[in-house]
Amino acid sequence: MSKQPEPKVSKGRENDTDPEKGLSKEEAEARTAQFGLNELELVKPENIWLIVLRQFNSVIVYILAAAGIVSFILGDELESFTIIAVILINAITGFTLEYNARQSMEALRKLDVTPARVIRDGQIQEIPSEQVTIGDILVLEAGDLVAADASIIERNQLRVDESALTGESLPSEKSLDPSYENAPLGDQHNNLFKGTAITDGNAKAIVTGIGQLTELGKIATMVHQAKRTATPLEGKLNSLTKVLIWVTLGMALAFLVVGLLRGQEIKQLIETAVALAIAAIPEGMSIVATVALAYGMLRLAEKKVIVKRLSAVETLGGTNVIFTDKTGTLTQNKIEVHALHFSGNDLTIRLHPQKKGLEAMEVITGDQKLIKSKEMQMLSMTGALANNAQLDGKNKKNLGDPVEVALLLFATACGIDINKLNNDYKRKAEKAFSSDTRIMATLHHAGSGYFISVKGAIEEVSALCSWENEEQRNKELEVSEVMAADGLRTLAFAYRQTNKKPGNNFTSEEKLTYLGLIGFLDPPRKEVTKSLNACHHAGIKIIMVTGDHPATSLKIAKEVKLVGEDEVLVLTGKDLESFDFNSETDRKKMMDCKVFARVNPAQKLDMIDFYQKQGDIVAMTGDGVNDAPALKKSDIGIAMGLRGTAVAAEAADMVLKDDSFASIVHAIEQGRVIFENIRKFIVFLLSCNMSEIFVVTFAGFLNVGNPLLPLQILFINIITDIFPALALGVGKDNEKLMKSAPRDPKKSLLEAADWKRILFYAMVMTASVLGCYWYATTGLGMNTAEGNTITFYALSLAQLLHVFNLHTGKRRFFNNEITRNKFIWMALILCIAIMLATYFIPLLRQVLSLQPMGIASLELILGAGIAPIIVIQAVRLLFPAYWEIKN
């Protein structure tokens, strides 16, 4: 990758701009020439042919290519073409995945296509967003996308949706008050950021950063710098390949040396040694792994999980740490009325929109009778009147501020007909919410009188109300503080009824009647707790990482049972700035914390890197632009498909179509199944291939003839190995996988115990087949050609039946995940049909040098083919804990 261009710094040039006249045309052109266009700079993409060539730059490809060349030289075009097909399929898959991964930056650029309104030469002009430059005065209204980073110089009731950058579920209220130094993005109330959206009000702002100088630009740079390493599966397969290389070379060399010492024909020795070398490398390993992963992808697609990279499925199965976003993943990404305080009573509720009337309101704590009280009706009515949102029952696309939408839904649950309420209470005036007054008030004409509805911050609303004494008011302020500490956004409500038409200052002409407080919360997803428990039993650590408020984050963590009710530890981005990761105290604090709030994109990268250096396999969920670098840096990035940005989806390895954490658990389970399947078929392939080598080499060492011809070895290697291995690779039955801890990511694909099992399986099959060959040629007096034929079919049958030795645990032989796998039976039927064809089709029999057989030969084949499975199962019964394939 080429070096990222250094952004040009403005050095305060925005301060030279006249706020009324803006930049002149000449000055704008000069600054554009100096600072460049307001667009995200792309690192020059890697040449497409280099990506293609890289797919062939691996040890296993070299071995397969050599095997193909040798097969062609030996005259076996079928073997040669099969190997070439394997190489091409894997290369095409790898190229497609890498090419898709490059689209992250293009998705970021798509945020730049909107126009922008600026003041130039004293006039408001609309220009392409890429022509905005340092010092331009942006003119913004509700619905606009912010074209560049800017500092607010004028604003009116301004609120901005910054969720893509900060993770905040609520729009951010903006003001002219300067932010404190090094404030997180969510706390920079006097600044606007490129790519965010104006939801309410209007503003003027002076541009301070464009292109790569913006917060969006910084994230774009991090997306490029966050590089993926090889997945655990890729690394393990590469390590296994290196082992196989040395085994292959050793066996082939030993056979050559022994043959030469005995004076055997050099050409035959070379042909057999090369055939052994080809047989030692399981050509089908890569393609079977690809098929197993692809089949897992199809099963996950049925669970609303779209996998972009094949190896991502297995990687997730080995994950032991998951960094999860809060908004929309653990919560429903919508604001609801959650807590109520009125007339000295407290009530917590949960709304069920699918129900109607009071049935839609579930009382969690408090007196059920309160929901029918007059105070509750007045509180809900006031919230519905001091409101500019709209409910769309047909299309379910409610319009307006999320808090005001929540108030309308709450009023509906209290039995209020919103349309009738608006007809009965005609609005005559409104005092819009502003950061100065911090209240919203509406005046309504109802019958012969007037009704005033007020909502806002408790300090301002309570100051407009009448109280028996100051202590009573202070108690309400304390209640509000407690609710805020619990992570709730609170609003106070008040009203006044009068027969006299109020004037312009209708909120302060007379004291209002205080109604109470409402606390709002983005409610947790119901299924999350069950999913988190499943992860806990599976030994997976879940960590919440969000840009939201610490108190809100901790409350949600407690609601979904991510942490205990007595948990108080929350680390913020500001805390992390002072962390020393070389300090044992700070490292322990980091490991103990499960809730991180107000975290910026760079800190997410640092956290992922911290856990990866601990040896963990880290998954990351996210939906916003701010999550893209972390999604790419993690071992497995998981983007949200419903609410997620294009940037997040492009940077991720997987996309959840339903944004559900439960889908992640399904993917983890599938990943574990796939890893077990991959290990099973590798054990199967290696034990089969090793038995082929042992049969030939041991026969050579014992000087009892050549029981298998090179072409017969190659045929067995393709037919009896590949199809059962494919069937093992698509198995899906193992209910115990999610009840054990993830495997140690540091361990190799095959451990010492696995290699011992492979050797044992191979030795048993070798002994049975060689015994059969010896008895046929010495006991029954058959010639070498007839012995070759018996050995060919006996070994083929032994290897086919060997698949039933690969079941896990202490399951019964006739009832396990192997016998319940329909693909196993299909593979066996197909392979037996092919083996019969080799005997009854003259051309195939001639090519493989097979001889006619009698009853005695058939009995030997059945005996030698069945004997290994009997021996192996007997040993498994005697030593079940050792010989089972553990998860």
Catalytic residue set = 325
* Structure token digits, residue 136: 């331009």
Buried b (16+ CB within 10 A) or exposed e, 351-371: beeeeeeeebbeeeebeeebb
SS3 163: helix
**Which residues pair with residue 611 across a beta bridge?**
none
* Structure token digits, residue 274: 């090369």
404: nearest Cα among 171, 585, 129: 171
CA pair distance 350, 342, nearest whole angstrom: 17
For residue 173, CA distances in Å to 177, 194, 202, 436, 622 come to 11, 16, 12, 11, 24
> 884 — phi, psi (to 5°)?
-75, 155
SS (H, E, C) 90-110: HHHHHHHHHHHHCCHHHHHHH
The answer to whether 684 and 288 are in contact (CB under 8 A) is no
Which are the contacts of 74, defined by CB distance < 8 A and separation ≥ 6? 271, 274, 275, 710, 711
SS (H, E, C) 815-842: ECCCCCCHHHHHHHHHHHHHHHHHHHCH
* Structure token digits, residue 333: 């990404």
DSSP notation for 735-752: TTGGGSPPPPTTS-SS-H
SS3 661: helix
The answer to whether 649 and 655 are in contact (CB under 8 A) is yes
Q: Where are the beta strands (DSSP E) in 162-314?
A: 172-173, 191-192, 197-209, 305-307
Q: Where are the beta strands (DSSP E) in 284-425?
A: 305-307, 321-324, 336-342, 345-351, 361-365
Residue with tokens 């590469």: 238
CA pair distance 849, 843, nearest whole angstrom: 10
The answer to whether 19 and 152 are in contact (CB under 8 A) is no
| Residue 400 zone, left/alpha/beta (φ > 0; ψ -120 to 50; rest) | left
Rg, Å, the chain Cα set: 36
SS (H, E, C) 668-717: HHHHHHHHHHHHHHHHHHHHHHHHHHHHHHHHHHHCCCCCCCHHHHHHHH
CA pair distance 173, 457, nearest whole angstrom: 13
CA pair distance 146, 111, nearest whole angstrom: 10
CA pair distance 352, 80, nearest whole angstrom: 64
* Structure token digits, residue 649: 């989806």
188: nearest Cα among 198, 178, 202, 199: 178
CA pair distance 287, 269, nearest whole angstrom: 30
CA pair distance 862, 832, nearest whole angstrom: 13
On the 0-12 / 13-18 / 19+ scale of CB atoms within 10 A, 44 is exposed
Alpha-carbon torsion angle 499, 418, 384, 367, nearest 10 = 100
